[in-house]
Amino acid sequence: MCSDDPNLGPAANKAKCHAIACFVFSIFSLLGFASPPAGSVGAVGGLLACIASSILMCCGPKAGEGGQKFLTAGVLLLIGGIIQLIMFAVIIVLMIMVLTAVHENAWCDKRYKPCTAATNGCSCTSGYSGYIDNVTFAEISSIDADWDDDTYCTGETDGLCYHHLIEDGEAVEYTTCSATTTKEFCEGVHGIGKAVVTGLVVAIMGISCFFLFIAGLLNTLGGAYCLKAKKEMDAKVGTSTTAQGMPPVAQGQVVQAVAVPATIDATATV
């Protein structure tokens, strides 16, 4: 626990005690290194605050030393606190952007779309199952190994097509008839993945935001306390310097005048 030094003023004692809270939350704000780049910059601000707090906790100023240590700690705390508050805002924006991208990049919605017929001409609503008319078995067997996608109708009735996209490794984009249950299965699988990604983003970036915000506020406030303590310490040093060489006079003490004997004139006639 923090205890006041009777040889220091109230502002100096307040700044020294507040430095403990700054140190603790700045240590936790170092978790920002786990969410670069903004979190890492905020963690650097936490390092500055740790150094500043250590100056006051480990080798704090003594009575009569002046306020230079408070000035150094105050400047470092202000710089660290401002950096942390700025990075807190930046991480909030980045987290919103990441979560928006995760939810907007709907993998299944890009591939399963309503349609009436597939690229190969099969109806996706009639329920017809079999080879496409006017295509012979010889022509089918001579096309390629994927002949069933090109020439065979699967008898779907849901009016849904699956889009084979170039980004999936396809040479060209084309569609095939699909069932609603297939899309639902896709959404279930990718929904779990989306939830996991969302949870990781909120856990890592959210925790960093929390500690950066608290540490930023404490460090900025601590910097202000240190600058106020610096003025107090300098004022005490100035007062003691002005009064140096003047013996203190107790209350009610009577100062007696000491008579100085007159100089004897050596030329006087005896």
pLDDT tens-place string over residues 32-80: 887 788 888 988 999 999 999 999 888 777 777 778 889 999 999 999 9
Q: Note the pLDDT of residue 112.
A: 92
Q: Note the pLDDT of residue 110.
A: 86
Amino acid at 125: T
Q: CA 197 to CA 205: how far, in whole Å? A: 12
Paired tokens of 93: 């924006």
Backbone angles phi, psi at 252, to 5 degrees: 85, 0
Instruction: Assess contact for 25 and 198: CB atoms under 8 A.
Output: no
Amino acid at 101: A
Each residue's pLDDT tens digit, 237-255: 766 554 444 444 444 454 4
What's the mean per-residue pLDDT of the chain? 79
Which stretch of DSSP H or E encloses residue 29? helix 10-29
The average pLDDT across 98-111 equals: 80
37: cis peptide before it, omega within 30°? Answer: yes
Q: Note the pLDDT of residue 203.
A: 86
Paired tokens of 269: 């006639």
How many C-beta atoms lie closer than 10 Å to residue 40's C-beta? 15
The average pLDDT across 15-35 equals: 88
Does residue 120 come out as left (phi exceeding 0), alpha (psi in the -120 to 50 range) or beta?
alpha
Q: Note the pLDDT of residue 240.
A: 56
pLDDT at 146 > cutoff 60: no
Q: CA 54 to CA 80: how far, in whole Å? A: 14
Helices 10-29 and 180-242 cross at an angle (nearest 10°) of: 150
Give the DSSP letter of residue 28. Answer: H
CA dihedral 39, 40, 45, 49 (to 10 degrees): 100
The average pLDDT across 97-126 equals: 85
Lowest-confidence range among 58-62, 181-185, 208-212? 58-62
Q: CA 214 to CA 202: how far, in whole Å? A: 17
Considering the chain, what percentage of its residues have pLDDT values greater than 90? 32
Q: Note the pLDDT of residue 77.
A: 95
pLDDT at 117 > cutoff 80: yes
